[in-house]
Structure 1
Amino acid sequence: MNTNRISLFLIFYVLFNLFQSETIYAAYHDRLTQSMVQGTVTDTEGIPLAGVSIQVESTNRGTITDIDGTFNIQAGPNDALVFSYVGFTPQNIPIDGREVLMVQMEENIAQLGEVVLNAGYYTVSQKERTGNIATIKAETMEKQPVGNPLAAMQGHLSGVDIVQNTGLPGGGFSIEVRGRNSLSGAVDPLFIVDGVPYGSQSLNAARVSSEIIGEGISPLNAINPNDIESIEVLKDADATAIYGSRGANGVVLITTKKGKSGKTRFDARVSTSMSKVSHFLDLMNTQQYLEIRREGVQNDGLGDLLETSDLDLFWPDIKSWDNNRYTDWQEKLIGGTAYRNNAQLSVSGGGEATQFLVSGGYLKETTVFPGDANYRKATLHTNVNHRSDNGKFKINLSTDYAREDNRLPGADFTLQAYSLEPNAPALYDDEGNVNWENNTWDNPMAALEEKFRAKTHTFISNALVSYEVLPELELRTSMGFTSYRLDTYLTNPSSARNPSFGLTPQSYSNLTSNASQRESWIVEPQLNWKKSWEDFSMNVLLGGSLQQENSQQLVVRGRGFPNNGLIENMAAAETLEIVSDMDSEYRYSAVFGRVNLNYVNRYILNLTGRRDGSSRFGPGKQFGNFGAVGLAWIFSEEALFGEKSLLSYGKFRASYGTTGSDNIGDYRYLDTYNVSGESYGGTTILEPTGIFNPEFGWETNRKLEASLELGFFNDRLMVNTSWFRNRSSNQLIGIPLAATTGFSELAGNFDAVVENSGIELDLTSVNIRTEGFRWSTNFNLTVPRNKLVEFEGLESSALSNTYIVGEPLTIVKLYNALGVNPETGLYEFEDYDGDGNISNPGDLQWVEDLAPALYGGLGNTLTMGNITMNVFFQFKKQQSYNTFRFDATPGFRGNIPVELFDRWQQPGDIGPFQRASSGFTSVQDRGYYQERSNAAISDASFLRLRNISIDYKLPTIENGLDINIYLQGQNLWTLTDFKGPDPEQPSSTRLPPLRQLTLGLNFSF
């Protein structure tokens, strides 16, 4: 047996060397007769075209044009060069012995077949796609001064709703692709970076940083937007079913930039930005505030106390503070200017066989808060692409590394900026110390004594290796590895608290640290077979996936430090508590396939299927089957539509299929416990977090879509409309349990169905195209609808106060406000249950939906000579909580919106706000109910100038240096009737998104 193997090996070795020898000789002979051909490629106006693909006909030899349109390629005197570029008519030009070529390409935007989209495991042309794939390219993202890829996508893609959670650097974003599918609240899509799944969930520990950074540090901040070539969002069943169990909420594919053949090229980008809060609330001044406060004391029957010193400690704003003092706390605490400095340098180039790209970036960003808080990020992106001389073997290696260091104060100053009394004392005394004003207030500057720091290290790598076994058969394997480490800590020194409490470092000061890490590897072998006949072509893909992910998190709190100078040294703590200790493993395997059939480039059938296995389910429930069918008919190719038809392109497509979700966390089917952070008799206490239930399995999402794509006037006007309906069943829900059970909830599948439906419209047009001026427009609109179709046993469950069958998942149940009683001066509400009292839940029957009714974006690009201007508007129609969600009763301590000054004062008054109250007695106050009524909801629709950029390209210098100067603005202007901090981020506890202005310079040579 061993002899046979050796013989076979020797035969293979000899044949391989003979083959290689012939190949090398043939290549050597060809090169003896070849010479270097150079030239320049321009459009009809003489403007150089960069990135034009040039290939020697019938060979694998090719290159692309440089930034100035020039190229160099080795070719024989009798060869022909094929020039192709998206939006231009391809040209085939014989060399005829020439060494210099001047090529002029004619614009033809009708080349939809040349627009290639990334569909994950395969690529597809825009013309022949059967699925719904939205895309945003590098040229659009580069126009926006943002640090997170999700920020660059806001408003640009139909069916994709993205909201920024905080204006602080490093903060997160929420993203929904075609609505909320699950009652569990899991809405994040699957993120794939260069073929590698990437976890978007923060490893932040709530007890460490929730007050300052919202939902947590976003892992997507590690991906530099300047390193991204394109982002594709897969939405319907045809596009997502090949990802099976992880495609229910959509798939976001991020493709980073790669090197291109040609001379070595250096590209540099430097920019500086200034940012400020775009909108301040209209609050009361000192006179208005004190008038309301004193009136509230009188209304509560405590007017006599205004003449004594008995309550000076509780009413210093009325009694002891300077009644003529006024401070604009919004200006003081969140009115600063944040600066962002960004620099990036990349080197790229290579020959016909090997191309490379190395890119490094550095960003530093400050905040609008007082103090020296800042965020720093350093990134490194590399890519190497190689193919053998015969083009059979290919390998692509891509790596991304990012290091982030976020240093913020211990608390967000936003709430204090909105609520501090206008006559509050000065922040510092005459000697520059924190002023406690005889211990009568909590000085906001004390938060600067607290420190929050988050350090992250992110590494993403991918290797894609392929070999052409036969002319129609390719074997390839994708291998990826990701590592994400987050280390955060939050200090709470005694010096940050009012001295009246008598706290010392030994009795109070504490440090809480969070050390978290997530590592994942994946291997995906694939076999791709393509075959074409005269009128028919077939593409078959078979593959498998093996993935393992390990996560660890350790949260430790140290208490009792000798002094606050040692508070960052955990070893100096008197006691240590383990707040949380988590170690989990997730394993995933799958087989998948795709069959694509194309008849006469007109009728297309696409079949995809996948079988997944997940360790997140118990035995017998671990595997699930998913699949989809997609159809497309390019009816504009029919004989009915001739060359003179106004309709230049028409396609109808439809798809139906199933995807799933295992996005429920690890070990949910087991009894699970967690360290509580407390102890009993010196023994650490474990608290139950999950109850055993091996019966729950996959959620299933059935997706249906129909779409019509039309092109008019030689595709100068493109209109794409889509209707979709997704139904997610077998819902994984955590049902709250009684405290006597010892468990907080029971996770399981329930007979509940959630439906998301809607219409999407995408429009692009070339309005003007003359020799010196171009104007193009893009527009997208989404009209979504969400509905709980059915939920068996909802009325008797603990969720009956949250959901209603037939209503969206995004509803809130509220009291119905009837205004102010003109005789009593108190708010009144509808008594739904007729018991004579306003109660919860009996009278919480008014329903409002907080999901957007429609959203979209409108962009225009204008080019005149070397100047290009882009203007992009984002719009949304929605309702949201207004400021009265937090303040509905005038007279309480703390500043409030000036609208509340129009309050009831005496019997017979008709006004929108009830009488003032000090909040210091048990006198009836119905502000609590008003804050939970429909009066706290208002229209939050808006039209926002999301981005504007002006780019000027200087004439190319003789040595090949190209310089671009640009000015960019982000969130510059918002048209809205909403009176809260921001219509998209209405919370008064978080910093809203900032207005930014950026000046930058790009140069390459």
Structure 2
Amino acid sequence: MKNNYNFLRLLLVLQLFIGSYAMAQEQHFKSFDLQAGELELSEFLEVLEDSYGVHFAYSPSVLPVDRLVRTNYQEKRLEDILEDIFDTLDIEYSIQGNRVVLSKKTSPQVLKQEPLVISGQVKEEETGETLVGATVTVKGTNKGAVTDVDGNYRLIVPNLKVELVFNFIGKISQTIAANGRTKIDVSLKNDILELEAVVVNGYGIEEKKENMVGSAEHITSEQLKRKPVARVDQMLDGVVTGLRYEVQSTDASSARPRFQTRIRGEASFMASNEPLWIVDGIPLYTGNRTNLIPGVNASVSPLSYLNPNDIESITVLKDAASVSIYGANGANGVILITTKKGSANQSRIQFSYRTGVSKITDTKFQVLSGDEYRVLAKEAFENSGKPLSEYPFPTEADTTSTDWYDTFFRNGITSQYNLSASGGSGQTSYFMSAGYYKEKQTIIANNTERFSAKLNLDQRFGDRVKVAFRTSGSYNKNNLFTPRDFYYVARPNIDPYTEEGDFALYDRLTGNKLYNHLAIAQQNDHKQSSFTVNGNMAVTVKILDGLDFTSRNGIDYLSITEDQYSSKKNWSGMNLEGEPVGYSRRAQNSYLKWVSINRLNYSLDLGKHSLNALLGTESSSSRRRSSEGTGYGFASDQIKELEFTPDENQRASSSAVEETALSVFGRLGYSWDERYFLTMNFRKDGNSRFGSDVQWANFLSAGLGWTISNEAFWQSKLINFLKVKASYGTNGNSRIGTYQAKGLYSFSNDYAYNQQPGAIITSGENPHFSWETTYMLNTGVSWGILDRVYIDLEYYNNITNDLIDKVPVSQTTGETRVYRNIGKVKNSGLELTVSSINIKNKHWQWNTRFNLAKNQNEILELYNGIEQRAGVNIRKVGEDSRTLYLIRWAGVDPRDGAPLWLDARGNLTRQYSADNRVPVGSTNPDFFGGMTNTVTYKNFTLSFLLNYTVGGYAFSTLRRNSESDGLNILSDNQSKNQLDRWQEPGDLATVPQLIAKVSQQSSMNSTRFLHKKTHVRLQNVSLNYQLEERWVKKTPIKAASVYVQMDNVGFWTPYANRKDRNTYKNSFSPFPLESVFSLGVDLTL
């Protein structure tokens, strides 16, 4: 009964609607009865006037009134009748109320009109200077133009009611309605606050910086251009507040220093602390792709495969409101890379070339010269009490002085070419590029080549469908060699050559085997090649106004091949018996990840209300494969393939790892009157890495913002912008070994039974092994002063629960340690960013950007509260997770030159004991940051970047290994600091008495080898000149610039003593910083 009632109501509504429509059409749709026949046109028009209540207006000279027309029309609309009659008479009509105007059709030539054009000039408001390269677009379309060298533009428009959008980097954009005008001049204001900058949030959602409630930093292409680099992550060093780009390891197992990126500290013991890198919407795998050859860590980060010249912008997301939508991958921050794309009707060809020369700086580790070594070695031997006749270096034969730095280091050369083309027309735009990078590194036998290509294509199909295609690929070739610690450990009285000029196999003075790394560099092979592809295609369909659906599907693929051969001519290619056999290793590693992201995005602007919502899913599947083969017993160094070795000398292994992930995510953003802002995110993640009981996790966040300066009561002229914001939420970390939760076993011939391979359990099942979860709190205030200074201050407090670590278990399980979620750590701190325009006039402009960050790390919980000690570090509740745990060095006893320490109570002692170790500080700095200054005078631009660190300690493994106080002096070279040794009673020395082959324990781990990390580094200086337009006016070149640049110009620390001694700047890495001088040119055609 109820259904019938609803049906009747629907019929009633339809009837009322149809009736209203019929009344509206009554005058144009009436029935009249006229028998079939013919009438003169004038008579027929009178009939129509009577029947439809209209009046025809026409000129008799235009209308053939005596023409006969048929009259067989019944129940026809007036428009249909007129169309039928006048179609063949070349007459057109126009209904204007009850009046129908008839006129002769205009010929096509008459209808053709000149295109509508709006032109004008774009200037800078403060100086009145014209802006070259400003973009002018018709709002809501791809139609646009770019201003010429005089700031003029000319744009064809469909009508004179359009709205034009004017944009220029560093200026506040303006939208102006044409309102019938054909000439529109515009003056753009400076955007020192960068509030107009469009920041890419999670999953490609664009948002103005002034509307964001999350913590994010946006780096534009203009900022990136000031710092040409070979690697993407180098662009961020000293530029992004709270981001540290530091040396990862102080060992010498790599061909050059390895670096790591940290955002707001380290939140994990065992899982990755690296941020999530996303390129054009697809995550980039940045896991460990090194160590393909056992014992060698010479391959480089996958980020080095990206061509920095292809990057349009970089956005760094840091708090929960920004990164919770990435769930289990976002706890360490997210770095979004957007590559360049073309613009319709703006064709452009760009070419750039850069070449540079690099050399090691004065940060190299200082070791003894040949003469210094001979003096100290003999002195140490005499102090040992042994007869001089046993001294291993006869004075008459010991005349060699080899400078191993000069032997292993050289001046490097870098060349980089980039060519790109962009443009489009109508519904299509494109960007394509090709790049070539070649480097002869400062360490001998190390060379790199990179070939890269990119294609970005955007295609619209009408107003509802858009397809975006993004792909990039690179091929890399590397020749690799690492001298390890040989260049600073090898004695200077070793001659790498025989008297005949061949590479020496034996130490001439001692007769011992000589692992001659110079011979290894020249005679051995270590080659690496890699191929990468990162690409995706996104299809966006406009379902309704404001409602879009996007499906993005992509891959990240990498294949690395390494070939290593140890020659039969040196000891690396000989067996234990000294027989030359040659060793070969072949390794291959591949990684393939498929990602599918599907999302609905809804946006609505209703008066002062603005709403956007996002709902989506993400699924991914990845597979890593590795294989390795080894062999020895080659007949010749010219034959290096494994198949030419005896079968019994060959070994092979392979492995494969797979994992899958599935996520559902959503985002809701709301703002009112650009004053009040709300953002909420959620994500549900499932991952095959974790135990069967805990494979799913939920992550949520919310953020609020209030732009106080947009309130009616805010009338301050001094503070022109003021905003406060806060966010809280959760993120996870799932980036740890793939099978840590699984029960595993392995096959091997070592466990064979009955001539069949056997298997053993390698790890038990771990069903409760779960995610690390970080709870993030962020608050901030931003304010602008006089449109010239912008200050951003933020406080954060991040607590990570369920820390993953290895804990001891009963050996009856077959294991000694397993992964568990056992701890809690806190990272809290302050971040300050200040941007300013110091000078701004017609010819001069000086901008400064300063950032400062302080991060405080503290362990809140550990497994059963038990301290964890490893090497020189300790993990202890209440301490920093990178706390150093050492015995305190007290110097040298002036009476006899013996080493002194402090015990745990602070009393002086001559006995070294591990029980006297105490926490002595953290390797984390108290403060760190950077400052960029950019000064422009007419066509010249000078910029420089300073990095600084205040506080924190570094333990120098180099000094510990090379300051043995005589213990190893007869076999290894020593640090120059050993020159300050004790020699006689009363000496106030910093180094104990040198005694050969006697351990005084003074070279054991202690604060003796500790350095404060406070320093300032002049990282980059560049000078750019933009050629005047008159110089290139008669050439195809639209714009040209040349520049000079220097990297790692200077390194200062307040704790330096003598110039020829090792301080922090010489001791933090086994490989010194490289100073690079570059010349470059950029051309636009």
TM-score, normalisation: structure 1: 0.88
The corresponding residue for 2:799 is 727
Q: Which runs of 5+ in 1 are unaligned?
A: 1-27
The corresponding residue for 2:1043 is 966
Alignment of 1:34 with 2:104, yes or no, is no
The corresponding residue for 1:54 is 136
Residue 56 of structure 1 contacts residue 79 of structure 1 at CA under 8 Å; is this kept in 2? no
Give the 3-state SS of the residue equivalent to 2:323 in structure 1: helix
Which of the numbers 194, 215, 234 marks the counterpart of 2:280? Answer: 194
1:796-855 deviations in Å (ceiling 9; x for gaps): 777797311111111121112222234453323334399999576522224321112211
Which amino acid is the alignment partner of residue 288 of structure 1?
Answer: E
Residue 170 of structure 1 contacts residue 221 of structure 1 at CA under 8 Å; is this kept in 2? no
The corresponding residue for 1:993 is 1073
Give the 3-state SS of the residue equivalent to 1:832 in structure 2: coil
Residue 963 of structure 1 contacts residue 1003 of structure 1 at CA under 8 Å; is this kept in 2? yes
Which of the numbers 839, 844, 850 marks the counterpart of 1:768? Answer: 839
Which amino acid is the alignment partner of residue 770 of structure 1?
Answer: N
1:642-663 deviations in Å (ceiling 9; x for gaps): 2x52010000000000011111
The corresponding residue for 1:944 is 1017
Give the 3-state SS of the residue equivalent to 2:210 in structure 1: coil
Question: Which residues of 2 match residues 124-273 of structure 1 at below 5 A?
Answer: 124-164=207-247, 172-205=258-291, 207-208=293-294, 210=296, 213=298, 216-273=299-356
Give the 3-state SS of the residue equivalent to 2:661 in structure 1: strand
Q: CA 1:500/1:259 → structure 2, altered by over 3 Å: closer, same or farther?
A: closer
CA distance in 2, matches of 1:356, 1:195: 18
Alignment of 1:90 with 2:174, yes or no, is yes
CA distance in 2, matches of 1:68, 1:360: 31
The corresponding residue for 2:423 is 349
The corresponding residue for 1:497 is 571
CA distance in 2, matches of 1:985, 1:175: 22
Give the 3-state SS of the residue equivalent to 2:347 in structure 1: strand
The corresponding residue for 1:898 is 976
Which amino acid is the alignment partner of residue 1078 of structure 2?
Answer: T
Name which of structure 1's ranges 395-404 and 55-64 shifts more when overlaid on structure 2.
55-64
The corresponding residue for 1:825 is 897
Which of the numbers 374, 378, 396 marks the counterpart of 1:294? Answer: 378
1:372-419 deviations in Å (ceiling 9; x for gaps): x310000001101122343x221111101011101022x236x32322
C-alpha deviation, 1:257, in angstroms: 0.8
C-alpha deviation, 1:293, in angstroms: 1.0
CA distance in 2, matches of 1:623, 1:405: 41
C-alpha deviation, 1:435, in angstroms: 6.9
1:117-162 deviations in Å (ceiling 9; x for gaps): 0112212111000100122222222233421101111111111111
Give the 3-state SS of the residue equivalent to 1:842 in structure 2: helix
Q: CA 1:591/1:846 → structure 2, altered by over 3 Å: closer, same or farther?
A: closer
CA distance in 2, matches of 1:124, 1:190: 20
C-alpha deviation, 1:511, in angstroms: 1.5
Which of the numbers 855, 861, 869 marks the counterpart of 1:784? Answer: 855
The corresponding residue for 1:326 is 401
Question: Which residues of 2 match residues 688-703 of structure 1 at below 5 A?
Answer: 689-703=762-776
CA distance in 2, matches of 1:499, 1:123: 58
CA distance in 2, matches of 1:134, 1:611: 26
C-alpha deviation, 1:621, in angstroms: 0.7
Which of the numbers 928, 949, 954 marks the counterpart of 1:876? Answer: 949
Question: Which residues of 2 match residues 488-887 of structure 1 at below 5 A?
Answer: 488-497=562-571, 508-569=581-642, 571-572=644-645, 574-575=647-648, 578=651, 580-642=653-715, 645-673=717-745, 689-714=762-787, 716-735=788-807, 742-743=814-815, 745-750=817-822, 752-795=823-866, 802-832=874-904, 841-877=914-950, 878-882=952-956, 883-887=958-962
Question: Which residues of 2 match residues 415-494 of structure 1 at below 5 A?
Answer: 415-425=485-495, 427=497, 429-431=499-501, 433-434=503-504, 436=506, 438=508, 439-440=511-512, 441-448=514-521, 449-494=523-568
Which amino acid is the alignment partner of residue 791 of structure 1?
Answer: L
The corresponding residue for 1:363 is 437
Alignment of 1:916 with 2:916, yes or no, is no
CA distance in 1, matches of 2:758, 2:1048: 49
Give the 3-state SS of the residue equivalent to 2:925 in structure 1: coil
CA distance in 1, matches of 2:473, 2:890: 57
Residue 136 of structure 1 contacts residue 231 of structure 1 at CA under 8 Å; is this kept in 2? yes
Give the 3-state SS of the residue equivalent to 2:866 in structure 1: helix
Percent sequence identity over aligned pairs: 25
Residue 900 of structure 2 contacts residue 911 of structure 2 at CA under 8 Å; is this kept in 1? no
Give the 3-state SS of the residue equivalent to 1:127 in structure 2: helix
CA distance in 2, matches of 1:868, 1:323: 56
Which amino acid is the alignment partner of residue 993 of structure 1?
Answer: L
Q: Which runs of 5+ in 2 are unaligned?
A: 1-108
Give the 3-state SS of the residue equivalent to 2:288 in structure 1: coil
Residue 573 of structure 2 contacts residue 582 of structure 2 at CA under 8 Å; is this kept in 1? no
Residue 526 of structure 1 contacts residue 541 of structure 1 at CA under 8 Å; is this kept in 2? yes
Q: CA 1:691/1:759 → structure 2, altered by over 3 Å: closer, same or farther?
A: same
Q: CA 1:39/1:357 → structure 2, altered by over 3 Å: closer, same or farther?
A: farther
CA distance in 1, matches of 2:179, 2:673: 33
1:174-228 deviations in Å (ceiling 9; x for gaps): 01111110121520111111000111113222644635x2xx4211111111111
Residue 272 of structure 1 contacts residue 340 of structure 1 at CA under 8 Å; is this kept in 2? yes
- Structure scoring higher RCO (CA < 8 A, sep ≥ 6) equals 1
Alignment of 1:119 with 2:201, yes or no, is yes
CA distance in 2, matches of 1:685, 1:837: 55
Which amino acid is the alignment partner of residue 899 of structure 1?
Answer: N
CA distance in 2, matches of 1:911, 1:30: 100
Residue 198 of structure 1 contacts residue 482 of structure 1 at CA under 8 Å; is this kept in 2? yes
C-alpha deviation, 1:433, in angstroms: 4.7
CA distance in 2, matches of 1:707, 1:57: 34
Give the 3-state SS of the residue equivalent to 1:610 in structure 2: strand
Residue 51 of structure 1 contacts residue 85 of structure 1 at CA under 8 Å; is this kept in 2? no
Query: CA RMSD of the aligned region, Å?
Result: 3.1
Residue 595 of structure 2 contacts residue 621 of structure 2 at CA under 8 Å; is this kept in 1? yes
Residue 964 of structure 2 contacts residue 974 of structure 2 at CA under 8 Å; is this kept in 1? no
C-alpha deviation, 1:258, in angstroms: 0.8
C-alpha deviation, 1:912, in angstroms: 1.6
Which amino acid is the alignment partner of residue 1072 of structure 2?
Answer: P
Q: CA 1:172/1:521 → structure 2, altered by over 3 Å: closer, same or farther?
A: farther
CA distance in 2, matches of 1:759, 1:502: 58
Give the 3-state SS of the residue equivalent to 2:527 in structure 1: strand
Which amino acid is the alignment partner of residue 125 of structure 1?
Answer: K
Which amino acid is the alignment partner of residue 834 of structure 2?
Answer: L
C-alpha deviation, 1:451, in angstroms: 2.1
Equivalences, count: 949
C-alpha deviation, 1:450, in angstroms: 2.2
1:623-669 deviations in Å (ceiling 9; x for gaps): 00001010101011122322x52010000000000011111121111
Residue 594 of structure 1 contacts residue 607 of structure 1 at CA under 8 Å; is this kept in 2? yes
Residue 623 of structure 2 contacts residue 659 of structure 2 at CA under 8 Å; is this kept in 1? yes
Which amino acid is the alignment partner of residue 247 of structure 1?
Answer: G
Question: Which residues of 2 match residues 18-29 of structure 1 at below 5 A?
Answer: none
C-alpha deviation, 1:63, in angstroms: 4.4
Q: CA 1:143/1:904 → structure 2, altered by over 3 Å: closer, same or farther?
A: same
